[in-house]
Chains A and B, each alone.
Chain A
Amino acid sequence: MIPRAALAGFCMGFALGAASAPALAQFRFDLNRIIDTARQIGQASTEVDEPQEVEIGKQYAAVLLGAAPLVPDPELQRYVNALGRWLAQHAERPGLAWQFGVLDSDNLNAFATPGGFVLITRGLLARMRSEAELAGVLAHEIGHVVKKHHLNAIRKGAGMQAGANILGEFVAQRGRNPEVTSRLVSGMKEVMLRGLDKDDELEADRMGVVIAARSGYDPYGLPSVLQTLSAMNPQDSGLALLFATHPVPADRLDALDAAMGTRLERYSAAARSSEEFLRVVRRK
Protein backbone atom coordinates (compact mmCIF):
# COMPACT_ATOMS: atom_id res chain seq x y z
CA MET A 1 0.00 0.00 0.00
CA ILE A 2 2.78 2.53 0.77
CA PRO A 3 5.45 2.33 -1.88
CA ARG A 4 4.99 6.11 -2.12
CA ALA A 5 7.84 7.30 0.12
CA ALA A 6 10.24 4.65 -1.13
CA LEU A 7 9.34 5.35 -4.73
CA ALA A 8 9.71 9.10 -4.26
CA GLY A 9 13.06 8.72 -2.51
CA PHE A 10 14.44 6.47 -5.20
CA CYS A 11 13.29 8.74 -7.99
CA MET A 12 14.56 11.90 -6.28
CA GLY A 13 18.02 10.46 -5.90
CA PHE A 14 18.08 9.51 -9.55
CA ALA A 15 16.75 12.87 -10.68
CA LEU A 16 19.17 14.99 -8.66
CA GLY A 17 22.11 12.97 -9.79
CA ALA A 18 21.60 13.03 -13.55
CA ALA A 19 19.08 15.44 -15.03
CA SER A 20 19.20 18.81 -16.77
CA ALA A 21 16.58 21.42 -15.83
CA PRO A 22 13.92 20.80 -18.53
CA ALA A 23 14.34 17.09 -18.15
CA LEU A 24 13.94 17.51 -14.39
CA ALA A 25 10.63 19.36 -14.84
CA GLN A 26 9.39 16.63 -17.16
CA PHE A 27 10.57 14.04 -14.72
CA ARG A 28 8.74 15.68 -11.80
CA PHE A 29 5.56 15.64 -13.84
CA ASP A 30 5.98 11.92 -14.52
CA LEU A 31 6.88 11.34 -10.92
CA ASN A 32 3.66 12.95 -9.76
CA ARG A 33 1.73 10.74 -12.13
CA ILE A 34 3.49 7.65 -10.87
CA ILE A 35 2.80 8.57 -7.26
CA ASP A 36 -0.81 9.34 -8.08
CA THR A 37 -1.25 6.03 -9.86
CA ALA A 38 0.42 4.14 -7.02
CA ARG A 39 -1.91 5.87 -4.58
CA GLN A 40 -4.98 4.96 -6.63
CA ILE A 41 -3.95 1.37 -7.02
CA GLY A 42 -3.31 1.21 -3.29
CA GLN A 43 -6.71 2.65 -2.49
CA ALA A 44 -8.56 0.61 -5.07
CA SER A 45 -7.32 -2.56 -3.42
CA THR A 46 -8.08 -1.32 0.08
CA GLU A 47 -10.37 -3.83 1.68
CA VAL A 48 -13.65 -2.34 2.78
CA ASP A 49 -14.41 -3.69 6.25
CA GLU A 50 -17.94 -4.62 7.27
CA PRO A 51 -18.99 -1.40 9.09
CA GLN A 52 -17.71 0.59 6.11
CA GLU A 53 -19.54 -1.70 3.72
CA VAL A 54 -22.78 -1.15 5.67
CA GLU A 55 -22.21 2.62 5.56
CA ILE A 56 -21.73 2.47 1.78
CA GLY A 57 -24.85 0.30 1.48
CA LYS A 58 -26.91 2.79 3.48
CA GLN A 59 -25.93 5.61 1.13
CA TYR A 60 -26.80 3.39 -1.79
CA ALA A 61 -30.20 2.42 -0.35
CA ALA A 62 -30.98 6.06 0.49
CA VAL A 63 -30.52 6.95 -3.18
CA LEU A 64 -32.98 4.24 -4.25
CA LEU A 65 -35.42 5.44 -1.59
CA GLY A 66 -34.93 8.94 -2.96
CA ALA A 67 -36.13 7.70 -6.36
CA ALA A 68 -39.11 5.78 -4.92
CA PRO A 69 -40.31 5.66 -1.29
CA LEU A 70 -41.43 2.53 0.57
CA VAL A 71 -44.99 1.28 0.05
CA PRO A 72 -46.87 2.79 3.04
CA ASP A 73 -47.90 -0.61 4.40
CA PRO A 74 -46.13 -1.68 7.64
CA GLU A 75 -47.58 -5.19 7.52
CA LEU A 76 -46.19 -5.77 4.01
CA GLN A 77 -42.79 -4.34 4.96
CA ARG A 78 -42.55 -6.52 8.09
CA TYR A 79 -43.60 -9.60 6.12
CA VAL A 80 -40.86 -9.07 3.51
CA ASN A 81 -38.32 -8.49 6.29
CA ALA A 82 -39.20 -11.71 8.12
CA LEU A 83 -39.04 -13.74 4.90
CA GLY A 84 -35.85 -12.01 3.77
CA ARG A 85 -34.11 -12.47 7.11
CA TRP A 86 -35.01 -16.16 7.12
CA LEU A 87 -33.46 -16.54 3.67
CA ALA A 88 -30.35 -14.58 4.69
CA GLN A 89 -29.79 -16.97 7.59
CA HIS A 90 -29.21 -19.68 4.98
CA ALA A 91 -26.45 -17.81 3.20
CA GLU A 92 -22.89 -17.01 4.26
CA ARG A 93 -23.40 -13.68 6.03
CA PRO A 94 -26.20 -14.29 8.54
CA GLY A 95 -24.69 -11.78 10.98
CA LEU A 96 -25.35 -8.69 8.83
CA ALA A 97 -28.22 -6.46 9.98
CA TRP A 98 -30.28 -7.35 6.91
CA GLN A 99 -33.05 -4.97 5.89
CA PHE A 100 -35.65 -5.51 3.20
CA GLY A 101 -38.23 -3.21 1.69
CA VAL A 102 -40.91 -2.88 -0.98
CA LEU A 103 -40.53 0.27 -3.10
CA ASP A 104 -43.63 2.11 -4.23
CA SER A 105 -42.99 1.84 -7.96
CA ASP A 106 -44.85 0.20 -10.86
CA ASN A 107 -41.52 -0.70 -12.45
CA LEU A 108 -40.39 -4.32 -12.24
CA ASN A 109 -37.06 -4.51 -10.49
CA ALA A 110 -35.17 -5.58 -7.38
CA PHE A 111 -31.98 -4.18 -5.92
CA ALA A 112 -29.34 -5.14 -3.40
CA THR A 113 -26.83 -2.77 -1.87
CA PRO A 114 -23.61 -3.58 0.00
CA GLY A 115 -24.03 -4.51 3.65
CA GLY A 116 -27.40 -6.25 3.42
CA PHE A 117 -30.08 -3.86 2.11
CA VAL A 118 -32.52 -5.43 -0.35
CA LEU A 119 -35.36 -3.64 -2.15
CA ILE A 120 -38.01 -4.97 -4.48
CA THR A 121 -40.64 -2.97 -6.37
CA ARG A 122 -44.37 -3.21 -5.86
CA GLY A 123 -44.64 -3.78 -9.64
CA LEU A 124 -42.53 -6.94 -9.53
CA LEU A 125 -44.25 -8.21 -6.38
CA ALA A 126 -47.64 -7.79 -8.09
CA ARG A 127 -46.61 -10.26 -10.85
CA MET A 128 -45.65 -13.01 -8.43
CA ARG A 129 -47.74 -16.14 -8.17
CA SER A 130 -46.30 -17.47 -4.93
CA GLU A 131 -44.09 -16.91 -1.92
CA ALA A 132 -41.51 -19.23 -3.49
CA GLU A 133 -41.19 -16.71 -6.36
CA LEU A 134 -40.64 -13.86 -3.90
CA ALA A 135 -38.13 -16.02 -2.00
CA GLY A 136 -36.26 -16.72 -5.25
CA VAL A 137 -35.91 -13.03 -6.12
CA LEU A 138 -34.86 -11.99 -2.59
CA ALA A 139 -32.39 -14.90 -2.48
CA HIS A 140 -30.85 -13.73 -5.78
CA GLU A 141 -30.31 -10.29 -4.23
CA ILE A 142 -28.87 -11.87 -1.07
CA GLY A 143 -26.39 -13.65 -3.35
CA HIS A 144 -25.16 -10.26 -4.64
CA VAL A 145 -24.61 -9.05 -1.06
CA VAL A 146 -22.82 -12.23 0.04
CA LYS A 147 -20.45 -12.00 -2.94
CA LYS A 148 -20.04 -8.19 -2.68
CA HIS A 149 -20.79 -7.83 -6.39
CA HIS A 150 -21.68 -4.14 -6.06
CA LEU A 151 -18.41 -3.19 -4.39
CA ASN A 152 -16.59 -4.88 -7.25
CA ALA A 153 -18.72 -2.99 -9.76
CA ILE A 154 -18.00 0.36 -8.09
CA ARG A 155 -14.27 -0.45 -8.14
CA LYS A 156 -14.46 -1.33 -11.81
CA GLY A 157 -15.98 2.07 -12.52
CA ALA A 158 -12.41 3.36 -13.09
CA GLY A 159 -12.16 5.66 -16.07
CA MET A 160 -15.78 6.64 -15.73
CA GLN A 161 -17.09 9.45 -13.58
CA ALA A 162 -16.78 7.13 -10.62
CA GLY A 163 -13.11 6.35 -10.22
CA ALA A 164 -11.66 3.20 -8.71
CA ASN A 165 -10.36 5.24 -5.80
CA ILE A 166 -13.72 6.50 -4.54
CA LEU A 167 -14.27 3.54 -2.27
CA GLY A 168 -10.79 3.99 -0.84
CA GLU A 169 -11.33 7.68 -0.24
CA PHE A 170 -14.70 7.07 1.36
CA VAL A 171 -13.10 4.52 3.64
CA ALA A 172 -10.21 6.85 4.46
CA GLN A 173 -12.54 9.77 5.21
CA ARG A 174 -14.92 7.52 7.15
CA GLY A 175 -17.81 9.09 5.25
CA ARG A 176 -17.20 12.51 6.81
CA ASN A 177 -16.22 14.36 3.66
CA PRO A 178 -19.41 15.43 1.82
CA GLU A 179 -17.53 15.85 -1.44
CA VAL A 180 -16.23 12.27 -1.33
CA THR A 181 -19.66 10.98 -0.30
CA SER A 182 -21.26 12.79 -3.21
CA ARG A 183 -18.77 11.22 -5.61
CA LEU A 184 -19.50 7.83 -4.11
CA VAL A 185 -23.22 8.41 -4.66
CA SER A 186 -22.64 9.15 -8.34
CA GLY A 187 -20.52 6.00 -8.53
CA MET A 188 -23.44 4.04 -7.11
CA LYS A 189 -25.83 5.61 -9.60
CA GLU A 190 -23.51 4.50 -12.39
CA VAL A 191 -23.73 0.93 -11.13
CA MET A 192 -27.53 1.15 -10.73
CA LEU A 193 -27.87 2.37 -14.31
CA ARG A 194 -25.15 0.23 -15.88
CA GLY A 195 -25.77 -2.96 -13.97
CA LEU A 196 -23.39 -5.60 -12.67
CA ASP A 197 -21.23 -8.02 -14.61
CA LYS A 198 -23.27 -10.58 -16.51
CA ASP A 199 -21.38 -13.40 -14.78
CA ASP A 200 -22.21 -11.90 -11.38
CA GLU A 201 -25.91 -11.90 -12.30
CA LEU A 202 -25.76 -15.52 -13.39
CA GLU A 203 -23.88 -16.44 -10.20
CA ALA A 204 -26.57 -14.71 -8.10
CA ASP A 205 -29.21 -16.72 -9.99
CA ARG A 206 -27.44 -19.99 -9.17
CA MET A 207 -27.08 -18.93 -5.54
CA GLY A 208 -30.69 -17.74 -5.38
CA VAL A 209 -32.22 -21.10 -6.24
CA VAL A 210 -30.00 -22.84 -3.67
CA ILE A 211 -30.62 -20.30 -0.86
CA ALA A 212 -34.38 -20.68 -1.49
CA ALA A 213 -34.10 -24.48 -1.33
CA ARG A 214 -31.97 -24.31 1.86
CA SER A 215 -34.69 -22.15 3.41
CA GLY A 216 -37.35 -24.75 2.72
CA TYR A 217 -38.78 -23.28 -0.50
CA ASP A 218 -39.41 -24.75 -3.88
CA PRO A 219 -36.25 -23.62 -5.77
CA TYR A 220 -38.18 -23.11 -9.00
CA GLY A 221 -39.59 -19.77 -7.80
CA LEU A 222 -36.78 -17.73 -9.39
CA PRO A 223 -36.95 -19.43 -12.82
CA SER A 224 -40.71 -19.01 -12.66
CA VAL A 225 -40.30 -15.24 -12.23
CA LEU A 226 -37.82 -15.22 -15.13
CA GLN A 227 -40.46 -16.94 -17.26
CA THR A 228 -42.93 -14.20 -16.32
CA LEU A 229 -40.42 -11.54 -17.39
CA SER A 230 -39.59 -13.45 -20.55
CA ALA A 231 -43.27 -13.58 -21.51
CA MET A 232 -43.76 -9.84 -21.13
CA ASN A 233 -43.44 -7.36 -23.94
CA PRO A 234 -39.79 -6.26 -23.72
CA GLN A 235 -40.89 -2.78 -24.80
CA ASP A 236 -42.92 -2.44 -21.60
CA SER A 237 -41.59 0.74 -20.01
CA GLY A 238 -41.72 -0.92 -16.57
CA LEU A 239 -38.99 -3.33 -17.73
CA ALA A 240 -36.63 -0.82 -19.34
CA LEU A 241 -34.16 -0.46 -16.49
CA LEU A 242 -34.28 -4.14 -15.48
CA PHE A 243 -33.54 -5.23 -19.05
CA ALA A 244 -30.85 -2.57 -19.48
CA THR A 245 -28.99 -3.85 -16.43
CA HIS A 246 -29.47 -7.64 -16.59
CA PRO A 247 -28.90 -10.40 -19.13
CA VAL A 248 -32.14 -11.16 -21.02
CA PRO A 249 -34.40 -13.54 -19.06
CA ALA A 250 -34.10 -16.25 -21.73
CA ASP A 251 -30.31 -16.29 -21.32
CA ARG A 252 -30.67 -16.46 -17.54
CA LEU A 253 -33.09 -19.35 -17.90
CA ASP A 254 -30.68 -21.15 -20.24
CA ALA A 255 -27.87 -20.72 -17.68
CA LEU A 256 -30.04 -21.90 -14.79
CA ASP A 257 -31.29 -24.77 -16.90
CA ALA A 258 -27.69 -25.90 -17.54
CA ALA A 259 -26.59 -25.45 -13.90
CA MET A 260 -29.67 -26.97 -12.24
CA GLY A 261 -30.42 -29.88 -14.53
CA THR A 262 -32.55 -32.10 -12.33
CA ARG A 263 -30.31 -31.65 -9.26
CA LEU A 264 -32.78 -29.59 -7.28
CA GLU A 265 -35.85 -31.50 -8.38
CA ARG A 266 -36.14 -33.30 -5.05
CA TYR A 267 -36.72 -29.94 -3.32
CA SER A 268 -39.41 -28.94 -5.77
CA ALA A 269 -42.20 -30.26 -3.57
CA ALA A 270 -41.20 -27.85 -0.76
CA ALA A 271 -43.17 -24.79 0.30
CA ARG A 272 -44.55 -22.54 -2.40
CA SER A 273 -46.96 -20.22 -0.65
CA SER A 274 -47.98 -19.36 2.86
CA GLU A 275 -51.24 -18.06 4.22
CA GLU A 276 -49.30 -14.88 4.99
CA PHE A 277 -48.30 -14.37 1.34
CA LEU A 278 -51.89 -14.67 0.24
CA ARG A 279 -53.10 -12.34 2.96
CA VAL A 280 -50.36 -9.69 2.88
CA VAL A 281 -49.31 -9.66 -0.77
CA ARG A 282 -52.25 -11.00 -2.75
CA ARG A 283 -54.86 -8.72 -1.16
CA LYS A 284 -53.18 -5.73 -2.79
Chain B
Amino acid sequence: MKGRLLVLLFACTAGLAAAQEAGYAVRQAELKREPFSDAASAGTLPERAEVKIVSRQGGWLRIESASGAGWVRMLSIRTGSAEGAGGDSGIKQLFNVARSGSSGTVVATGVRGLDREQIANAQPNAAELSRMAQFAASQADAERFASRAGLAAQALDYLPAAQAAGDQ
Protein backbone atom coordinates (compact mmCIF):
# COMPACT_ATOMS: atom_id res chain seq x y z
CA MET B 1 0.00 0.00 0.00
CA LYS B 2 2.73 2.41 0.99
CA GLY B 3 4.74 1.34 -2.05
CA ARG B 4 1.81 2.00 -4.32
CA LEU B 5 1.37 5.44 -2.82
CA LEU B 6 5.01 6.24 -3.42
CA VAL B 7 4.74 5.11 -7.04
CA LEU B 8 1.65 7.26 -7.45
CA LEU B 9 3.41 10.26 -5.92
CA PHE B 10 6.38 9.73 -8.20
CA ALA B 11 4.10 9.47 -11.23
CA CYS B 12 2.42 12.76 -10.30
CA THR B 13 5.72 14.54 -9.80
CA ALA B 14 7.11 13.19 -13.06
CA GLY B 15 3.93 14.27 -14.83
CA LEU B 16 4.31 17.78 -13.45
CA ALA B 17 7.97 17.98 -14.44
CA ALA B 18 7.10 16.90 -17.97
CA ALA B 19 4.26 19.43 -18.16
CA GLN B 20 6.60 22.23 -17.08
CA GLU B 21 9.01 21.52 -19.90
CA ALA B 22 6.60 22.28 -22.75
CA GLY B 23 6.02 25.73 -24.16
CA TYR B 24 5.60 27.78 -27.31
CA ALA B 25 6.87 31.05 -28.73
CA VAL B 26 4.45 33.99 -28.50
CA ARG B 27 6.40 35.82 -31.18
CA GLN B 28 9.24 35.20 -33.57
CA ALA B 29 12.34 35.11 -31.38
CA GLU B 30 16.04 34.84 -31.86
CA LEU B 31 17.85 31.78 -30.54
CA LYS B 32 21.21 32.49 -28.92
CA ARG B 33 24.20 30.28 -28.30
CA GLU B 34 24.56 31.72 -24.78
CA PRO B 35 22.03 33.29 -22.37
CA PHE B 36 23.08 36.88 -23.21
CA SER B 37 21.61 39.44 -25.58
CA ASP B 38 24.95 39.95 -27.35
CA ALA B 39 25.68 36.22 -27.74
CA ALA B 40 25.98 34.72 -31.21
CA SER B 41 22.76 33.78 -32.98
CA ALA B 42 21.72 30.15 -33.11
CA GLY B 43 18.79 30.62 -35.46
CA THR B 44 15.23 31.91 -35.33
CA LEU B 45 12.24 30.51 -33.51
CA PRO B 46 9.06 31.15 -35.51
CA GLU B 47 5.93 32.45 -33.76
CA ARG B 48 3.94 29.62 -32.13
CA ALA B 49 6.85 27.20 -32.50
CA GLU B 50 6.60 24.50 -29.87
CA VAL B 51 9.61 24.14 -27.62
CA LYS B 52 10.88 21.90 -24.89
CA ILE B 53 12.38 23.83 -21.97
CA VAL B 54 15.65 22.18 -20.92
CA SER B 55 16.88 24.64 -18.30
CA ARG B 56 16.61 28.22 -17.06
CA GLN B 57 19.11 30.96 -16.35
CA GLY B 58 17.96 34.41 -15.30
CA GLY B 59 15.68 35.79 -18.00
CA TRP B 60 16.66 33.05 -20.43
CA LEU B 61 15.38 29.57 -21.24
CA ARG B 62 17.42 26.89 -22.89
CA ILE B 63 15.10 25.21 -25.34
CA GLU B 64 14.99 22.49 -27.98
CA SER B 65 12.66 22.78 -30.96
CA ALA B 66 12.15 21.72 -34.55
CA SER B 67 13.90 24.99 -35.50
CA GLY B 68 16.97 24.21 -33.45
CA ALA B 69 18.29 24.45 -29.91
CA GLY B 70 19.67 27.36 -27.93
CA TRP B 71 18.77 30.12 -25.48
CA VAL B 72 15.72 32.32 -25.88
CA ARG B 73 14.32 35.16 -23.76
CA MET B 74 11.95 33.80 -21.10
CA LEU B 75 9.14 36.21 -21.91
CA SER B 76 9.10 35.17 -25.56
CA ILE B 77 7.88 31.79 -24.36
CA ARG B 78 4.61 30.80 -22.68
CA THR B 79 4.41 27.45 -20.98
CA GLY B 80 1.74 24.95 -21.92
CA SER B 81 0.52 24.17 -25.43
CA ALA B 82 0.16 26.62 -28.33
CA GLU B 83 -3.07 24.88 -29.37
CA GLY B 84 -5.99 27.11 -28.57
CA ALA B 85 -3.78 29.73 -26.93
CA GLY B 86 -4.68 33.32 -27.68
CA GLY B 87 -8.36 33.68 -28.47
CA ASP B 88 -11.10 32.34 -26.27
CA SER B 89 -10.64 28.63 -26.62
CA GLY B 90 -8.28 26.06 -25.26
CA ILE B 91 -6.16 26.93 -22.28
CA LYS B 92 -8.00 30.12 -21.43
CA GLN B 93 -11.34 28.36 -21.56
CA LEU B 94 -10.01 25.87 -19.05
CA PHE B 95 -8.90 28.76 -16.85
CA ASN B 96 -12.36 30.24 -17.12
CA VAL B 97 -13.81 27.01 -15.82
CA ALA B 98 -11.53 27.32 -12.83
CA ARG B 99 -12.46 30.98 -12.49
CA SER B 100 -16.16 30.22 -12.29
CA GLY B 101 -15.41 29.87 -8.58
CA SER B 102 -15.41 33.66 -8.41
CA SER B 103 -19.11 33.77 -9.23
CA GLY B 104 -19.88 31.70 -6.20
CA THR B 105 -19.98 28.30 -7.89
CA VAL B 106 -17.94 25.96 -5.77
CA VAL B 107 -15.19 24.34 -7.78
CA ALA B 108 -14.55 20.72 -6.85
CA THR B 109 -11.73 20.80 -4.35
CA GLY B 110 -10.19 18.37 -1.94
CA VAL B 111 -9.42 19.19 1.66
CA ARG B 112 -6.17 21.08 1.23
CA GLY B 113 -6.48 24.05 3.52
CA LEU B 114 -7.17 27.59 2.34
CA ASP B 115 -9.92 26.59 -0.04
CA ARG B 116 -12.88 28.87 -0.55
CA GLU B 117 -14.95 27.09 2.07
CA GLN B 118 -12.21 26.94 4.66
CA ILE B 119 -11.61 30.67 4.42
CA ALA B 120 -15.36 31.35 4.57
CA ASN B 121 -15.60 29.29 7.76
CA ALA B 122 -12.30 30.35 9.33
CA GLN B 123 -12.27 31.81 12.82
CA PRO B 124 -9.44 34.26 13.60
CA ASN B 125 -6.55 32.38 15.23
CA ALA B 126 -4.94 34.80 17.70
CA ALA B 127 -2.52 32.22 19.11
CA GLU B 128 -1.04 31.53 15.67
CA LEU B 129 -0.82 35.28 15.02
CA SER B 130 1.33 35.70 18.15
CA ARG B 131 3.48 32.79 17.05
CA MET B 132 4.02 34.46 13.69
CA ALA B 133 5.28 37.59 15.44
CA GLN B 134 7.98 35.57 17.21
CA PHE B 135 9.68 34.80 13.90
CA ALA B 136 9.77 38.41 12.68
CA ALA B 137 13.12 39.71 11.45
CA SER B 138 14.55 43.10 12.40
CA GLN B 139 16.19 45.38 9.83
CA ALA B 140 19.53 44.23 11.25
CA ASP B 141 18.52 40.57 10.73
CA ALA B 142 17.68 41.42 7.13
CA GLU B 143 21.05 43.14 6.58
CA ARG B 144 22.88 40.10 7.96
CA PHE B 145 20.83 37.80 5.74
CA ALA B 146 21.68 39.86 2.65
CA SER B 147 25.32 39.90 3.57
CA ARG B 148 25.40 36.09 3.99
CA ALA B 149 23.63 35.64 0.65
CA GLY B 150 25.91 38.17 -1.08
CA LEU B 151 23.00 40.32 -2.23
CA ALA B 152 23.94 43.67 -3.75
CA ALA B 153 21.21 46.34 -3.61
CA GLN B 154 20.45 48.22 -6.84
CA ALA B 155 18.75 51.55 -7.50
CA LEU B 156 16.01 51.46 -10.11
CA ASP B 157 12.56 52.92 -10.70
CA TYR B 158 9.26 51.09 -11.01
CA LEU B 159 8.07 50.18 -14.49
CA PRO B 160 5.13 52.09 -15.95
CA ALA B 161 2.23 50.01 -17.30
CA ALA B 162 3.25 49.69 -20.94
CA GLN B 163 1.09 49.32 -24.02
CA ALA B 164 4.00 47.81 -25.87
CA ALA B 165 7.57 46.89 -25.05
CA GLY B 166 9.94 49.55 -26.27
CA ASP B 167 12.91 47.51 -27.30
CA GLN B 168 11.89 43.97 -28.08
Is B56 within 8 A of A214, CB to CB? Answer: no
Which one, B79, B114, B159, contacts A109 given CB within 8 A? B114
A187 proximal to B (CB < 8 A):
no
B-side interface size class? 35 or more
List which B93-107 residues lie within 8 A (CB) of chain A: 94-95, 97-102, 107
Is B165 within 8 A of A244, CB to CB? Answer: no
Is B157 within 8 A of A258, CB to CB? Answer: no
Which one, A86, A223, A261, contacts B167 given CB within 8 A? A261
Which of B116, B132, B168 gathers most chain A CB within 10 Å?
B132
> In the complex, how many residues of chain A place their beta carbon closer than 8 angstroms to a beta carbon of chain B?
104
Which one, A62, A85, A104, A227, contacts B113 given CB within 8 A? A104
A115 to B142, CA, bound (A): 18
Q: Could you say which residues of chain B place their CB within 8 Å of the CB of A245?
A: 102
Is A202 within 8 A of B80, CB to CB? Answer: no
- Of A25-33, A39-47, A94-102, the one with at least 4 CB within 8 A of chain B: A94-102
Which one, B58, B132, B141, B167, contacts A262 given CB within 8 A? B167
A177 proximal to B (CB < 8 A):
no
Residues A234 and B95 in contact in the complex (CB < 8 Å), given A64-B122, A65-B128, A240-B109 = yes
0 or 1 for each of B143-157: is its CB under 8 Å from A? (1 = yes): 111101111111111
Q: Could you say which residues of chain A place their CB within 8 Å of the CB of B22?
A: 231
A265 to B39, CA, bound (A): 14
Q: Could you say which residues of chain B place their CB within 8 Å of the CB of A209?
A: 159
Is A210 within 8 A of B116, CB to CB? Answer: no
0 or 1 for each of B14-25: is its CB under 8 Å from A? (1 = yes): 001001101100
Q: What are 19 A-B pairs with beta-carbon distances under 8 A?
A: A65-B128, A68-B113, A68-B114, A69-B128, A88-B142, A98-B136, A101-B135, A107-B115, A131-B149, A185-B124, A220-B58, A234-B91, A241-B115, A248-B99, A250-B85, A253-B75, A262-B37, A263-B167, A265-B59
